[in-house]
């Protein structure tokens, strides 16, 4: 699927089914809307799946792995060799999110969309890492589009395999730098408030990181009205790939869950490319990164979880799944007021 074809396929979700789901919630023997966001989430799922009998039988975690040339500028604690090590650890059940996904029955799919080393991770590589955004655009416009299309086509493959929902994750040393740069441009916010310490920087190193981002934006002059231009000049292949996942989910009717800050930058990029994509996207938690709340607010989302997490990899996104499943159990199994012969609650 091409990017253009995908954008043309994205339509608003069917709110009639959401209304039917909301009506069933009101009929269930419990105080009206007493399960709050869980009720809203089930209704949103119904709108996406076009049925009021919602299912989440097969669940996937898609992790995009790539490297960023800006690491040359000393904006991280570690070098890019760590990306490949952690990426292979996903396959070996040696990362936090791998353990969590296994516990929750979520199938993990890791993809190499731009690591500088070849590993056992499945290759969908656009290039061996991005260029250094401090010296020029991180990638070409065509590379950006190609990587977005990689994400779209991964969703198409998962749909063919029967997956009902996709959670998102990423791995790439330096990607809080690229995310801060893209987020700052798209939101028109100062770099200073969009940039955090990532995996742990000193105050001095954080000041340097902010200056690198500011200088890059001044050099590359990304157009905030053109998300592709912003991603190509300031982003990373992981963000582009995830942007494609959010767009692919919207085009093919599969809900996609945001993880943390980096994933939210991809979600916002997708929404800027197609406003209707927002109907198919779910937040999970709010990242402890300074810009985490900014990103959710910009999309009109409110987090389900506040856990002070900022690990990435998909750890926040997968945590939403058991909440949704608990909501669905009540929705699908609980008796109605009529079933137990008591008067229903009436909205006042």
Cβ pair 101, 314 in contact under 8 A: yes
Q: What pLDDT digit, counting tens, does each position of 269-278 carry?
A: 999 999 999 9
Cβ pair 121, 63 in contact under 8 A: no
Instruction: Give catalytic status of residue 234 as yes or no.
Output: no
Q: Chain-centre distance of CA 169, in angstroms?
A: 7
Q: Can you count the helices (H) and strands (E) in the chain?
A: 14, 6
- Coil/strand/helix, residue 31: coil
* Residues whose CB is less than 8 angstroms from the CB of residue 200 and which lie 6 or more positions away in sequence, other chains included: 77
- Nearest Cα residue to 256 out of 272, 237, 278: 278
- From the list 39, 170, 234, 313, the catalytic residue is 313
- pLDDT tens per residue across all 348 residues of the chain: 999 999 999 999 999 999 999 999 999 999 999 999 999 999 999 999 999 999 999 999 999 999 999 999 999 888 999 999 999 999 999 999 999 999 999 999 999 999 999 999 999 999 999 999 999 999 999 999 999 999 999 999 999 999 999 999 999 999 999 999 999 999 999 999 999 877 678 888 889 999 999 999 999 999 999 999 999 999 999 999 999 999 999 999 999 999 999 999 999 999 999 999 999 999 999 988 888 999 999 999 999 999 989 889 999 999 999 999 999 999 999 988 887 777 777 776
pLDDT reported for residue 346? 74
Crossing angle of helices 315-333 and 37-49, rounded to 10°: 90
Residue 45, CA distances (Å) to 60, 134, 255, 271, 303 in order: 16, 41, 7, 18, 16
- Coil/strand/helix, residue 28: strand
- Coil/strand/helix, residue 212: helix
Domains of the chain in sequence order: 59-321 (3.40.50.10210)
Task: Give pTM, 2 decimals.
Answer: 0.96
Residue 317, CA distances (Å) to 28, 122, 139, 208, 286 in order: 28, 21, 28, 30, 10
Q: What pLDDT digit, counting tens, does each position of 51-85 carry?
A: 999 999 999 999 999 999 999 999 988 899 999 99
């Amino acid at each position: 699927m091409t990017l253009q074809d995908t954008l043309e396929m994205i339509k608003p979700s069917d709110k009639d089914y959401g209304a039917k789901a909301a009506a069933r919630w009101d009929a269930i023997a419990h105080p009206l809307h007493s399960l709050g966001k869980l009720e809203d989430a089930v209704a949103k799922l119904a709108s996406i799946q076009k049925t009021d009998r919602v299912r989440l039988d097969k669940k996937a975690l898609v992790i995009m792995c790539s490297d960023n040339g800006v690491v040359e500028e000393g904006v991280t604690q570690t070098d890019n060799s760590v990306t490949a090590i952690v990426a292979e650890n996903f396959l070996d059940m040696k990362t936090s999110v791998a353990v969590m996904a296994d516990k929750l029955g979520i199938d993990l799919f890791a993809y190499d969309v731009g690591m500088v080393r070849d590993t056992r991770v499945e290759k969908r590589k656009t290039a061996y890492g991005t260029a250094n955004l401090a010296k020029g655009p991180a990638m070409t416009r065509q590379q950006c589009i190609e990587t977005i299309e990689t994400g779209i086509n991964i969703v198409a493959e998962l749909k063919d395999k029967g997956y009902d929902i996709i959670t998102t994750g990423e791995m790439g040393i330096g990607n809080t730098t690229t995310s801060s740069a893209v987020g700052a441009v798209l939101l028109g916010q100062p770099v200073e408030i969009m940039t955090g310490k990532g995996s742990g920087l000193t105050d001095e190193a954080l000041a340097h990181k902010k200056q690198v981002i500011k200088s890059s934006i001044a050099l590359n002059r990304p157009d905030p009205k053109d998300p592709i231009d912003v991603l190509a000049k300031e982003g990373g292949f992981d963000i582009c790939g995830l942007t494609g996942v959010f767009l692919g989910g919207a085009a093919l009717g599969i809900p996609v869950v945001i993880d943390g800050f980096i994933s939210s930058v991809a979600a916002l990029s997708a929404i800027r490319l197609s406003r209707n994509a927002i109907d198919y996207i779910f937040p999970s938690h709010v990242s402890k990164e300074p810009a985490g709340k900014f990103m959710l607010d910009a999309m009109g989302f409110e987090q389900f979880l506040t856990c002070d997490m900022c690990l990435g990899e998909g750890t926040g996104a997968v945590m939403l799944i058991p909440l949704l499943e608990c909501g669905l159990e009540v929705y699908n199994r609980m008796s109605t007021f009529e079933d137990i012969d008591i008067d229903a609650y009436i909205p006042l």
